[in-house]
Structure 1
Amino acid sequence: MGTVTRFDAVAEHEKTRGALAAVIPRLVGLLRDVPDPDAASGVPVWTVGDVGAHLAAVYLAYCSLVSGDEAVEWDSVLPPGDLPFVERITAMNATSIGLFGGDDRARPGDVVAERGEAFLRATEGLAPDTPVAVPWYGQETTLTLAVVTGLMLSESLVHGLDIARGAGLPWTIGPDEASLVLGQSMPTMMTLALDTARARGVSIAFDLVIKGGPRLAVVVDDGTMTVTRDAAPRAYDCRITAAPTAFLLVSFRRTPVWKAMARGRMRAGGRRPWLATRLGELIATP
């Protein structure tokens, strides 16, 4: 069933902080080099400028969670009621691109640079399991600092690609960066984003093996999902082996799964390899 390699949570969190610190100046430079903010981006219906405004809002929001100097009136921006996950995030995304206007919208790189530095400064030395309340994921949702840091890294990498594709500028997502996202934030976010209606009556155990990265046991059982890192050996229905960057982009719907497989970046095995495509179908995305 393969070898299970234990990971050091503290060391991996520090690596994720280092990766975030390295990607921020790259992202700031990308935002400042955009020739036409009105150009179409890699996100349907959003322009390059919209993605930049969204990133500025993301950095402001995450910084506000950990810094007493950043206050956000959440009641004015959160969607009303306790909406399902996808509806809630869709509403928040729509709100985010309108939070900044004028000079702030014209210079999202300045916001990202300032808030990114403030986030790293405010969280320096904190344990990776430090609880952080994240109201836009749910009124009572609390994540760990490790997950939040991984989410900031994923937002930076994936939306950086969206901007680069629209602006015709270079952008890379390295395998080490992608592996950190998949290990730090993916287990939590997969369970939050489970489409419980589609998962009802489904029973599948996936062995998700990221080359050079984390190994996750993803078990769907009648409308619930558990994602366990370094799980004890067990029988699986389907094994998915993937290069980290490929799996990250497939997960965020930036690359079709068939293309990743055709390029040899993902492959399915195990007793029932045909179930590999079901994993993506069971995870809802805004």
Structure 2
Amino acid sequence: MGTVTRFDPVAEHERARAALGVVIPRLVRLLRDVPDAGAASGVPVWTVGDVGAHLAAVYLGYCSVVSADGAVEWDGLLPSGEASFGERIAAMNARSIDLFGGEERARPADVVAERGEEFLRITEGLAPDTPVAVPWYGEGVTISLATMTGLLISESLVHGLDVARGAGLPWSIGPDEVALVIGQSMPTMMALALDEEKARGVGIAFDLRIKGGPRLAVVVEDGAMTVTRDAPPRAYDCRITAAPVAFLLVSFRRTPIWRAIASGRMLAGGRRPWLAMRLGELVATP
């Protein structure tokens, strides 16, 4: 079955906080170096300026929920309670690019710098399992601070790539920081983003092994998903072995899975290796 490596959640969260502290100034420099905010970005239908505005909105929103400072009036922004997870995120993404206007819209780097520093300051010393309300995911939904920290790193890395691709600027994504993203946020977010309609009647157990990173037991059972780190030995239908950066970019639809497979950065094995393709189909990504 393979060995299971135990992790220290407190130590890992501190490493994630340190990684976020490094990526924020990198992102700020990137946003300030953009030569043309009207250029097409790595996100279809969004300009580089739109991605910058979205990043500013993300940092404002995340900082707002950990500080409860009332900086965001959520009642006017949130989609209806009947919307699915994918629909809610798509609606929030669309609204995020119009959240700022004028000077703030033109200078997203300043918002990212200010709110990023504030997020790290407010959350310093808090336990990684501290619950944080996330109204954009649904009424009453909470995630852990560790999950939110990992999400903020992933938003920065992936959208930094979108900006860099459109602006023709360099941007690097390292395997160590991505391994932290996967360990901190994926166990919660994969289950939260499950497409319940597609998962109805499905029973698959995936052994997801991230090179140099966490090993996750991803079990889909009739419309529900559980994602467990350090899972006890069990039988799996499909084993997926992936390089961290490849898994992140495939998960966020920035790299096609066939390219990751062809380059050897993602491999499928086990009793039913062909089921590897189903994992991406079952998890919603707007």
Task: Decide: shared fold, TM above 0.5.
Answer: yes
Partner Cα distance (1:70, 1:126) in 2: 21
Partner Cα distance (1:140, 1:246) in 2: 33
Spell out the pairing of 1:55-204 with structure 2 (5 A cutoff).
55-204=55-204
Equivalent residue, structure 1, for 2:25: 25
Kindly indicate whether residue 206 of structure 2 is the aligned counterpart of residue 206 of structure 1.
yes
Partner Cα distance (1:233, 1:141) in 2: 31
Question: CA offsets per residue over residues 34-86 of structure 1, 9 Å max, x none?
Answer: 01101110111000000000000000000001124453211011113331101
The Cα shift of 1:180 comes to 0.5
1:185 is paired with a residue of what secondary structure? helix
Question: CA offsets per residue over residues 123-171 of structure 1, 9 Å max, x none?
Answer: 0000001010000011110011000111101100000000001111000
Equivalent residue, structure 1, for 2:248: 248
Going from structure 1 to structure 2, the CA distance change for 1:85 and 1:68 (only over 3 Å counts) comes to closer
1:152 is paired with a residue of what secondary structure? helix
Q: Report % sequence identity.
A: 79
Structure 1's consecutive aligned runs of 4 or more residues displaced over 2 angstroms after TM superposition are 68-71
Partner Cα distance (1:58, 1:173) in 2: 19
Partner Cα distance (1:70, 1:79) in 2: 19
1:45 is paired with a residue of what secondary structure? coil
1:59 is paired with a residue of what secondary structure? helix
Partner Cα distance (2:87, 2:270) in 1: 35
Partner Cα distance (1:87, 1:68) in 2: 25
Partner Cα distance (2:71, 2:283) in 1: 32
Partner Cα distance (1:153, 1:4) in 2: 25
Equivalent residue, structure 2, for 1:285: 285
Equivalent residue, structure 2, for 1:275: 275
Partner Cα distance (1:68, 1:191) in 2: 26
CA contact (8 A) 2:81 2:138 kept: no
CA contact (8 A) 1:82 1:138 kept: no
Q: Which runs of 5+ in 2 are unaligned?
A: none
Q: CA RMSD in A?
A: 0.8
Partner Cα distance (2:71, 2:274) in 1: 48
Partner Cα distance (2:54, 2:231) in 1: 36
CA contact (8 A) 1:82 1:139 kept: no
Partner Cα distance (2:195, 2:78) in 1: 22
Partner Cα distance (2:11, 2:135) in 1: 28
Partner Cα distance (1:225, 1:68) in 2: 31
Equivalent residue, structure 1, for 2:3: 3
Amino acid at match of 1:209: R
Question: CA offsets per residue over residues 4-36 of structure 1, 9 Å max, x none?
Answer: 000000000000000000000000000000011
Equivalent residue, structure 2, for 1:215: 215
Amino acid at match of 2:75: D
Question: CA offsets per residue over residues 79-113 of structure 1, 9 Å max, x none?
Answer: 13331101111110011000001110110000000
Partner Cα distance (1:139, 1:46) in 2: 28
1:187 is paired with a residue of what secondary structure? helix
The Cα shift of 1:217 comes to 0.2
Amino acid at match of 1:74: W
